Homo-oligomer: A and B are copies of this chain.
Amino acid sequence: MKVHLITVGDEILIGQITDTNSSWMARQLNLAGARISGITSVGDHEEDIEHVLDEALRQADAVLMTGGLGPTKDDITKKTLAKFFGVELEFHQPTYDRILRFFERLGRTTTPAHRQQCYMPANATLLLNKMGTAPGMWFEQNGKVIVSMPGVPYEMEYLMEHEVIPRMKRFFPGLPIAHRTILTAGEGESRIAERLEQVEDELPPHIKLAYLPNLGQVRLRLSGSLPEEQALNQELDFYAQKITEKLDSLVFGFETDRLEAAVGRLLQEQGKMLVTAESCTGGYLAHLITSIPGSSNYFKGSIIAYSNEVKMNQLKVSPQTLETYGAVSEQTVAEMVKGAVQLLEADVAVAVSGIAGPGGGSPEKPVGTIWIAVGNAERVATQRVYAGKDRLKNIEYSAVHALNFVRHFLLQEQEALRK
């Protein structure tokens, strides 16, 4: 099944937003066994949209469009689609009723623009969008499929997952493709490739291994295609197992798991409560941890000590330590951990202090220097990592390393108990 993606919106052509929808969609569609034949971004102009749609349908079996479904005047995708299919726009009462109920619940009134939003091309099958007011639209023509979705990422993602991909799988039954994803943290791509050289040589031609690195984590994806689905799944399980054994504690999970969830499971297994004491990450580490539903079972809270005052007054870092070694030092993060464990009555604490940039660097401590500590009332482990020059990437990278450091600390605790 060949799929073409079209993104509609002037905001992309003037570079005001980056088209992140297409890469998300491409990833999901690849997992579902589709091949993306092309991605096109087009402005809010009727003829341009028509032309691109026409071109795309010549090459692909399905065309997925995002954007241009909002209530304001500049959105013309629906009008263009009606014209393209030679049908009228019809008022869709159930959609209007949903919008009315939605606004009623918010205690707000609708505007005429919301009513306008409920006119749909007569041949559209509407796809329920539980994340917003504009439904998705599914069209079939000459054995091909055209889908139109809102451009708001979480609305598009909801529709893709719950409506579009399941329908496409039914519409285009094809050769079984299956995947296994192994998630690692703490080592780079080339180092992992070295350890997997032998396994890679053993892989049969119908199974491929891809490396997907991202900020301190590398996902390894095995993809295979065979007529016999059961045999394929057995083979994939076999190689996933082999890779997992080779990489040992670098592996923190599988498929769509997340490092913060893996840390959460270890904490819950060990019945421990975690807290964070953050300087340069400024709350991002706590945010990652609390992005997991149910994290209140193992996460108590944090002290974000952005100023030295908070480091001293709340976390009891000694003024001498700050004076002698600086806020970005092994000594400071170790004291932050001890202070946080005591103040918040926690079983484990993790502390991060670093120079996120762009300012604040020095020859001895350049931008990107990060100190991390993890510990409890008995022991504290510390680690220094070097990130890069970009402030936001440095914050994310530090948080990922801190999480992975907590994971190893908890694994060691487990190991020590076993002995």
For A20, list chain B residues within 8 Å (CB). 18
What 0/1 pattern do residues 3 to 41 of A give for CB contact below 8 A with B? 000000011111111111011111111100001111111
Please tell me if A227 contacts chain B, counting CB pairs below 8 Å: no
Please tell me if A235 contacts chain B, counting CB pairs below 8 Å: no
Within the complex, which residue of B22, B278, B282, B286 is in contact with A291, where a contact is CB–CB below 8 Å? B282
Asked whether, in the complex, the Cβ of B391 is within 8 Å of the Cβ of A223, the reply is no
For A285, list chain B residues within 8 Å (CB). 283
- Report the Cα distance A285→B290, complex, angstroms: 12
For A282, list chain B residues within 8 Å (CB). 283, 286-287, 289-291, 295, 299
For A23, list chain B residues within 8 Å (CB). 12, 15-19
Within the complex, which residue of B26, B40, B113 is in contact with A38, where a contact is CB–CB below 8 Å? B40
Please tell me if A212 contacts chain B, counting CB pairs below 8 Å: yes
Number of A interface residues in the complex (CB < 8 A): 110
Among residues of B, the one whose C-beta sits closest to the C-beta of A73 is B200
For A287, list chain B residues within 8 Å (CB). 281-284, 287, 395
Asked whether, in the complex, the Cβ of B130 is within 8 Å of the Cβ of A389, the reply is yes
* Given A283-B285, A293-B359, CB of A190 within 8 Å of CB of B391: no
For A293, list chain B residues within 8 Å (CB). 357-359, 391
For A250, list chain B residues within 8 Å (CB). none
- Report the Cα distance A110→B287, complex, angstroms: 34
For A12, list chain B residues within 8 Å (CB). 22-23, 26, 39
Within the complex, which residue of B72, B106, B358 is in contact with A211, where a contact is CB–CB below 8 Å? B72
- Considering only residues 66-90 of chain A, those with a C-beta below 8 Å from chain B are 70-74
8 A-B interface contacts by CB (under 8 A): A73-B193, A152-B213, A278-B283, A282-B283, A284-B287, A286-B304, A287-B287, A295-B306
The 10 closest A-B pairs by CB, nearest first: A282-B290, A283-B286, A283-B283, A15-B26, A15-B27, A302-B304, A39-B41, A301-B310, A13-B36, A18-B23
